[in-house]
Amino acid sequence: MSKKVLLGLFVLLLLIVCGWYWENHSFDADRIIKNSQLGNRTFSTPVEEVVSPQHRIKAYLLEDKSNPIISISFIFANAGARAEQKGQYGMAKIAADLMVEGAGEWDSQQFKEMLENYAISISFSADNDDMSGQLLTTKEYAPIAFDMLQKTLLSPRVERRYVNRTKEQVLAAIKHQQENPQQQLSLMANEDLFAPHPYGRNPLGNPDDIKNFSPLQIRTFIHNNLGQSNLIVGIAGDMNAAEAGKMLDDIFGQLPIQGATDNISEAQLRLDGKKSFYHADIAQNIAFIAAQGTKRKAEDFYPLYIANYILGGSGLTSRLNQTAREKEGLTYGIYTGLSISDKAEMIIGSFSTTAQNFDLVVDIFTKEWKNMGINGVSAQELDEAKNYLISSYNLRFADIINISDMLAYMQKENLGIDFLQKRNQYISEVTLKQVNQAAAHYFTLENLKIYGLGNFN
Amino acid sequence: MEKKFKVLCISVLCLLFAHSVQAKLFDISEYQLSNGATLLVIPNHKAPIAKHMVWYKIGAVDETVGKGGSAHLLEHLMFRGTKKVTGTEFNRLMQINGADSNAFTSFDYTAYHQNLDISRLELAMALEADRMQNLNFSDADFVTERDIVYQERKQVVENKPLAVFSETMKKILWQNHPYAKPITGTEEEILSLTKDDIMQLYQHYYAPENAVIVISGDIEPQIAFELAEKYYGKVPARTSAKPKSFPTINANTNAKLRMSLPRVEIPRLIRTYVTDSYNTNPDNIYALSILSAYLGEGETSELYKELIQNRNLALSVSTSYDYASRSYGTFDIAAVPAKDVSMKKLTEKLDKVIRDAVFTINDEKIERVKNKMLAGLIYLKDNPFDAANIVGALYTIGMSKEDIENYADSIRRTTTEQVRHAAEELLYKSPVTEGIVYPIDWENKDE
């Protein structure tokens, strides 16, 4: 056998061995994505603004005929806990609960029978800022659903027997908050950070106030705060613009013109760079972290959003989880996120760990926080964060209720009717310099407060 | 990783009842791959996204005695690397590709899942197929992950008094049945687990024939099948675990548990009956489902109307029925008394309302309940992620595709007499444990 043949065989063998090694020891994610036959789908999300013909009520609509169902999300801005007068703390939550306890000609049981028979869902909730509602219906029973929602808004029953029961349920819910150490600590922290601003109160209310609410007071609260002037509506599903316009007039057209107004001041976070620890005999210590954040429409919103994502917002791959959980095994999870209310913008965080680990995790948290402020993020981290935020974008369209919620939120925050088209562009345009400037501004030890609940001996 | 215990099953069933149906509930396509793995595809084209899940028929019930928590720890360690995708690279790849990725362990199964853009589905399939056969984590990572699981148990069980109460209830109800033990394992068990314990479980159960792959979203079934063969089909077939046999529960069990726990602020009652599941008596599960809807699901149910609306004796009351188990099913009744109502009074009235409700079952009432159960099934066609969870859980415990799809017909076919008979068997002839948890120093512990 000639040398050339031997050499050829050797090269062939080498190629086979390399191929085997490559097959068994390498994983080329980029190649899989590039060659995927499922890529490059176009997906359009045309949102249109609808104005009702008679009462000029505006809404955003995303028409989607893939399923004969309709979701309507609506917000009464400023009609949450912040609309409560002194002595009325808890009124917004009680009012929201009572909206579905009978309306118009139907008592509570008749109303609920109809909801179940026609597979209609109507719900209300209240947070610190707003009262919100949601309607889900099939196209077939939409006229019934719209009629029911109209009556809940204009003539909720708010009868004494329902009021008494709802009060008891809310008082039990306030006790239930104390069974959960995370909730207990965040209530204590909010009071410390914000009181006497409304954000410092328990959003479920004050038990002494709640006991004294009368049906008339609750009806008055609803009448004074739910109006056309503070109404925001998002519609998704099997409905065209003409149908949506008529629906808006039918449901919301008879509401009082004037609703709750924006009458409270900005909340100033009481941050002192210190730690506040409270004793509780629990199996694991809990931490709650608070810092000043930024407004949703601020120029540094996306840069801060990305810096936070890298620090503690990206689940197990975040810097905090990589260090405290994945490397050290000190906690089940550690997270930070942006919390944006109308009058306060925060970066918040949380973790829990056994008492002997607590100082170690606080130390890791503080070091990573400070490091983010001083050194910022790398170009690779920024690219990877952008990849996540852009590639995960379509997941928000999985659920029709999410979509109508999003349409309402876009209006509340004045994000623009083209937000869904432009959002990925907003992310991709963020520069490394912008992220690091935001990081340097917000991730300082002065802008940080750590609360703890547990055993600190 | 997230862990939903039986909660997933229960929420699955609640969703089925809360919403409801057409002829085919999901339009599932079912395939067997060349190596024995099963593929289920649920097309949903509303957005270019999918949920990808791999369910293994192994849960806490399959653990060796004394090795509690090993199935759950294995679930965690599946994120700690393979020969090709080392360390925590799996998480990084999923993250930078926009996938929301996680896993959970129950008594009966373990599932891994990703919500993702359809353009990243093949990547997730390649990664899951890889860790189906190539798990390879370091000794140091094993110890770290065991510490994480220990912290998880502290956070999700020991810091929550109601979770502690629920664990105690299970011990009494299930006795020597594997459903008696905590899915996380006890603290001592977790700390005594070894790498060998985990690898034995992995090699024994993580085989293609023991896996159900679910893809729900913007994809045609045939393409999903071809891709599944391309990625999962490469995993060599191997013999997996044989079906497990379960101990028989003593039919005469009638236990009462009373606990006072720190940090409990309001008293609660829970009564759990051991009853039929899809695997022990599939013919009875629809009657029990209707019974649960009739008695205590929603705000038009008999218990809600009588105990809350009419008599103001309870702040909340509900029933739930879980048939999606490999062994027995469970039927729960839960209630919180109204202010100044003793548990004695509540339980007496509860029993009376149930007796009356069962006694007055008639065709008209049952038809009304059935109609409510079926009225909103169309909503199940909306969210592809929910559909994957429901179908995956039901199929993995052994339910056939046909039975999942024919839910509405099965409900419609169930007779009033079957519901009444199921009620009598459940309430008067089934093992039961009643638990009441009080705040410390609660004054009205009258019995």
pLDDT value of position A20 = 62
Distance from CA of A256 to the nearest CA of B (A): 31
End-to-end CA distance of chain B: 41
Q: From CA A311, how far away is CA A411, in angstroms rounded?
A: 29
* Residues within 8 A of A (CB atoms), B 401-430 only: none
Q: From CA B420, how far away is CA B414, in angstroms rounded?
A: 11
SS3 per-residue string spanning A345-357:
EEEEEEEEECHHH
The answer to whether the Cβ–Cβ distance between B123 and A32 falls below 8 Å is yes
Q: How far is C-alpha A405 from the geometric centre of its chain's CA atoms?
A: 10
Distance from CA of B164 to the nearest CA of A (A): 11
CA nearest to A177 within chain B: B265
Q: In terms of C-beta density within 10 A (0-12 exposed, 13-18 middle, 19 or more buried), how is residue A326 classed?
A: buried
pLDDT value of position B239 = 80
For testing contact with chain B, the best of A67, A116, A135, A137 (most B CBs within 10 A):
A116
End-to-end CA distance of chain A: 82
Pseudo-torsion of CA A93, A98, A104, A109, nearest 10°? 150
If one compares A8 and B219, the residue with the highest pLDDT of the two is: B219
The answer to whether the Cβ–Cβ distance between A179 and B263 falls below 8 Å is yes
Q: How many CB atoms lie within 10 A of CB A211?
A: 11
- Report the residue from B100, B155, B381 with minimal CB separation from A392: B100
* Residues within 8 A of B (CB atoms), A 85-114 only: 108-109, 112-113
| A264 CB-near residues (< 8 Å, 6+ apart) | A82, A197, A198, A343
Q: What is the mean pLDDT of chain B?
A: 93
pLDDT value of position A19 = 65
Please tell me what DSSP assigns to residue A71. Answer: E
Q: How many CB atoms lie within 10 A of CB A8?
A: 12
pLDDT value of position A33 = 94
The predicted-structure confidence for B256-299, as pLDDT tens digits, reads as follows 999 999 999 999 999 999 999 999 999 999 999 999 999 999 99
pLDDT value of position A39 = 78
Sort out which chain A residues have CB atoms less than 8 A from B152's CB and list them.
332
Containing B352, the helix (H) or strand (E) segment is helix B343-359
| B236 CB-near residues (< 8 Å, 6+ apart) | B35, B133, B208
Contact (CB, 8 A) for A301 and A308: no
Q: How many CB atoms lie within 10 A of CB B5?
A: 21
Q: From CA A80, how far away is CA A96, in angstroms rounded?
A: 9
B158 CB near a chain A CB, below 8 Å?
yes
How far apart, in Å, are the Cα atoms of B32 and each of A395, B206, B233, B399?
29, 17, 10, 16
Provide the token pair at A455.
Answer: 């055993």
Supply the angle between the helices B285-296 and B7-18 in degrees, to the nearest 10. 80
Three-state DSSP at B359 gives: helix
Three-state DSSP at B315 gives: strand
A29 CB near a chain B CB, below 8 Å?
yes
DSSP for A125-182?
Answer: EE-SS-EEEEEEEESTTHHHHHHHHHHHHH-B---HHHHHHHHHHHHHHHHHHTTSHH
pLDDT bucket at B446, cuts 50 / 70 / 90: low
Question: Which residue spans within B118-267 are E strands per DSSP?
Answer: 211-217, 254-261
Contact (CB, 8 A) for A217 and A140: no
Q: From CA A36, how far away is CA B120, in angstroms rounded?
A: 8
Q: How many CB atoms lie within 10 A of CB B65?
A: 7
State mean pLDDT over B157-164: 95
Sort out which chain B residues have CB atoms less than 8 A from A395's CB and list them.
49, 98, 100, 115-117
Q: What is the pLDDT along chain A (457 residues), one digit of tens a residue?
A: 677 877 777 777 777 766 666 666 689 999 999 999 897 677 788 999 999 999 999 999 999 999 999 999 999 999 999 999 999 999 999 999 999 999 999 999 999 999 999 999 999 999 999 999 999 999 999 999 999 999 999 999 999 999 999 999 999 999 999 999 999 999 999 999 999 999 999 999 999 999 999 999 999 999 999 999 999 999 999 999 999 999 999 999 999 999 999 989 999 999 988 899 999 999 999 999 999 999 999 999 999 999 999 999 999 999 999 999 999 999 999 999 999 999 999 999 999 999 999 999 999 999 999 999 999 999 999 999 999 999 999 999 999 999 999 999 999 999 999 999 999 999 999 999 999 999 999 999 999 999 999 999 7
Sort out which chain A residues have CB atoms less than 8 A from B93's CB and list them.
29
The domains of chain A are located at: 48-180+194-252, 275-454
Contact (CB, 8 A) for A43 and B119: no
Written out in words, the top-level CATH class of the domain with range A275-454 is: alpha beta
Please tell me what DSSP assigns to residue A323. Answer: I
| B118 CB-near residues (< 8 Å, 6+ apart) | A38, A39, A41, B48, B49, B50, B217, B218, B219
Provide the token pair at A119.
Answer: 């597979």
Distance from CA of A147 to the nearest CA of B (A): 19
Question: According to CATH, where is 3.30.830.10 located in chain B?
Answer: 7-234, 254-390+397-439
Contact (CB, 8 A) for B76 and B84: no
A211 CB near a chain B CB, below 8 Å?
no
Residue B392: which of B109, B35, B80 has the closest Cα?
B109
Which amino acid belongs to residue A14? L
Between strands A334-340 and B110-117, the pairing is unpaired
pLDDT value of position B17 = 45
Q: How many CB atoms lie within 10 A of CB B192?
A: 15
SS3 per-residue string spanning B388-447:
HHHHHHHHHCCCCHHHHHCHHHHHHHCCHHHHHHHHHHHHHHCCEEEEEEEECCCCCCCC
Distance from CA of B367 to the nearest CA of A (A): 11
- Report the residue from A32, A168, A352 with minimal CB separation from B122: A32
Provide the token pair at A162.
Answer: 């329902």
Provide the token pair at A159.
Answer: 């009868």
Residue A318's φ and ψ, nearest 5 degrees, are -65, 160
Residue B430: which of B359, B357, B333, B343 has the closest Cα?
B333
Q: Tell me if domain A48-180+194-252 and domain A275-454 are identical in fold.
A: yes
pLDDT value of position A429 = 98
Sort out which chain A residues have CB atoms less than 8 A from B300's CB and list them.
109, 112-113, 116
Sheet of B49-56, strands arranged across: B29-32, B38-43, B211-217, B49-56, B110-117, B100-105
The predicted-structure confidence for B23-60, as pLDDT tens digits, reads as follows 689 999 999 999 999 999 999 999 999 999 999 999 99
- Largest separation between any pair of C-alpha atoms in chain A: 106
CATH code linked to domain B254-390+397-439: 3.30.830.10
State mean pLDDT over B363-372: 97
Bridge partners, A357 (sequence order):
none
CATH code linked to domain A48-180+194-252: 3.30.830.10
Residue B368: which of A120, A141, A118, A146 has the closest Cα?
A118
Residue A251: which of A175, A346, A146 has the closest Cα?
A146
Contact (CB, 8 A) for A63 and A240: yes
Q: From CA A134, how far away is CA A269, in angstroms rounded?
A: 32
Containing B291, the helix (H) or strand (E) segment is helix B285-296
Q: From CA B84, how far away is CA B128, in angstroms rounded?
A: 12
Q: In terms of C-beta density within 10 A (0-12 exposed, 13-18 middle, 19 or more buried), how is residue B36 classed?
A: middle
pLDDT bucket at B6, cuts 50 / 70 / 90: very low
Handedness of CA A436, A438, A443, A444 (dihedral sign): positive
Q: In terms of C-beta density within 10 A (0-12 exposed, 13-18 middle, 19 or more buried), how is residue A436 classed?
A: buried
If one compares A6 and B332, the residue with the highest pLDDT of the two is: B332
pLDDT bucket at B1, cuts 50 / 70 / 90: low
For testing contact with chain A, the best of B52, B78, B300, B316 (most A CBs within 10 A):
B300
Sort out which chain B residues have CB atoms less than 8 A from A327's CB and list them.
144
DSSP for B183-217?
Answer: TT--HHHHHH--HHHHHHHHHHH-SGGGEEEEEEE
* Residues within 8 A of B (CB atoms), A 370-399 only: 384, 387-395, 397-399
Question: Which residue spans within B79-152 are E strands per DSSP?
Answer: 100-105, 110-117
Fold of B7-234: Cytochrome Bc1 Complex; Chain A, domain 1 (3.30.830)
For testing contact with chain A, the best of B154, B377, B440 (most A CBs within 10 A):
B154
The answer to whether the Cβ–Cβ distance between A395 and B159 falls below 8 Å is no
| A15 CB-near residues (< 8 Å, 6+ apart) | none
pLDDT value of position A272 = 82
How far apart, in Å, are the Cα atoms of A88 and each of A76, A94, A316, B54, B331?
18, 10, 42, 51, 41
The complex scores an ipTM of 0.93
**In the block, which residue shows the tokens 């006497």?**
A196
pTM across the whole model: 0.94
Containing B41, the helix (H) or strand (E) segment is strand B38-43
**In the block, which residue shows the tokens 């592809």?**
B384
Handedness of CA B327, B331, B336, B340 (dihedral sign): negative
Q: How far is C-alpha A401 from the geometric centre of its chain's CA atoms?
A: 13
Sort out which chain B residues have CB atoms less than 8 A from A316's CB and list them.
79, 88, 91, 95
Sort out which chain A residues have CB atoms less than 8 A from B114's CB and list them.
none
The answer to whether the Cβ–Cβ distance between A175 and B265 falls below 8 Å is yes
The answer to whether the Cβ–Cβ distance between B161 and A398 falls below 8 Å is no
